[in-house]
Amino acid sequence: MTTPDPDGLLAEQLLRLTRRVHRIQKRHLERRDLGVTPAQSRLLRTLAHYGSPPRMADLAERLEVVPRAVTTLVDGLEASGKVRRAPDPANRRVTRIELTDEGRATLRELHGARRSAAEEILAPLTEKERQVFGVLLDALIDGDATKPC
């Protein structure tokens, strides 16, 4: 007879929740017919956090992906008019990635899609449960680097 593994159950629940979140977010993106994939959505949101247009290498580092992945994402977003490549004024060998007006409009729509997806995901929880869940998520996201392994 095997002993129940509570950490294994929690890990499975966390993975199932992650898959559900991705499925619901993807559905909300598709409903709005924005023409962006979840990965492109993430790149657009990341671009919005820069004070000035970043280099592709900066995006790759921030997104924690290989530079080639960023190139593919930027190619698709550029083809749809949501971003543009611009030369760096200080170094002509460097290309910067800028949001276009269409990209900013898409970001506003993405924000709405993410909000409605979050509302759907959190619908089963009471307000108090949402507060507790938020505290628990913060603990998991931030981790505690000071705790010994």
Is the torsion defined by CA of 50, 53, 54, 56 positive or negative? positive
Task: Give the tokens for residue 35.
Answer: 């023409």
pTM, 2 dp: 0.75
Are the C-beta atoms of 31 and 112 separated by less than 8 Å?
Answer: no
**What domains are defined for the chain?**
27-142 (1.10.10.10)
pLDDT per residue of the chain (149 residues) written in tens, 0 to 9: 566 677 788 899 999 999 999 899 888 888 888 888 889 999 999 999 999 999 999 999 999 999 999 999 999 999 999 999 999 989 989 999 999 999 999 999 999 998 999 999 999 999 999 999 999 999 988 886 555 44
